[in-house]
Amino acid sequence: MNDYLLSVVLGIIEGLTEFLPVSSTAHLRIAESLFHISLGDGYWKMYTIVIQLGAILCLPIYFRARIAKFLSTFPHGENGDRTALTHPLGLTMVAFVVTAIPAFRKPSPTASSRTSLRGWDWSGTCTATVATPSGWAARSSTT
């Protein structure tokens, strides 16, 4: 398949799955396998990283007002009813630390583990870690 057409198809898969509660990384890897793309090829590894980087980097721009509000109200919150551990940024830091602990315990990566789905899921885990506490805070403030 032509690389341009393949790029369009993978871009559509990434766009449709990035903001759904499914793994866009897994869908990209499955599509790459179905299209017989060599998962050991450095070009396609970099492509997968860069295509996801675009979706990840758009989030701070899209949520810039909310991020600025979180930063300006840390640690007491808008109404002064939060602590460093109950503020959305505090919850994000706690979730990140809990998520990152296995990364420090994991043995150093080998060539085979770098190409596995498990190694690629850390970017999704970190993105979910950042998004989840703010969602909890938004839900708890509306009830």
Of residues 75 and 20, more confidence is placed in 75
- CA quadruple 38, 39, 41, 45: dihedral positive or negative? positive
Q: What is the rounded average pLDDT of the residues 38-67?
A: 86
Q: 95 is written with which tokens?
A: 């979730």
Q: Among 64, 8, 120, which Cα is nearest to 16's?
A: 8
Give the mean model confidence (pLDDT) for residues 73-88: 90
28-43: pLDDT as tens digits: 889 999 999 887 888 8
pTM of the model: 0.51
- If phi over 0 gives left and psi between -120 and 50 gives alpha, with beta otherwise, what is residue 36? left
Q: What percent of the chain has pLDDT over 70?
A: 73
Mean pLDDT over all residues of the chain?
77
In this prediction, residue 107 has a pLDDT band, given cuts at 50, 70 and 90, of low
In one-letter notation, the amino acid at residue 9 is: V
Kindly state the average pLDDT of the residues 50-72.
Answer: 87
Taking the domains of the chain in order of start, what are their residue ranges?
1-62, 64-143
On the question of pLDDT at 126 being above 50, the answer is no
- Altogether, the residues listed in the chain come to a count of 143
SS3 at position 92: helix
Q: Which one-letter DSSP state was computed for residue 38?
A: -
Kindly tell me if the per-residue pLDDT of 63 is higher than 60: yes
Distance, in Å, from the CA atom of 58 to the CA atom of 76, rounded to the nearest integer, reads 28
Is 110 within 8 Å of 96 (Cβ atoms)? no
Which of 15-19, 32-36, 124-128 has the highest mean predicted lDDT (pLDDT)?
32-36
Task: Please choose, from the candidates 84, 83, 66, the residue with its C-alpha nearest in 3D space to the C-alpha of residue 130.
Answer: 66
Please name the residues in contact with 56: beta carbons below 8 A apart, sequence gap of 6 or more: 123, 127
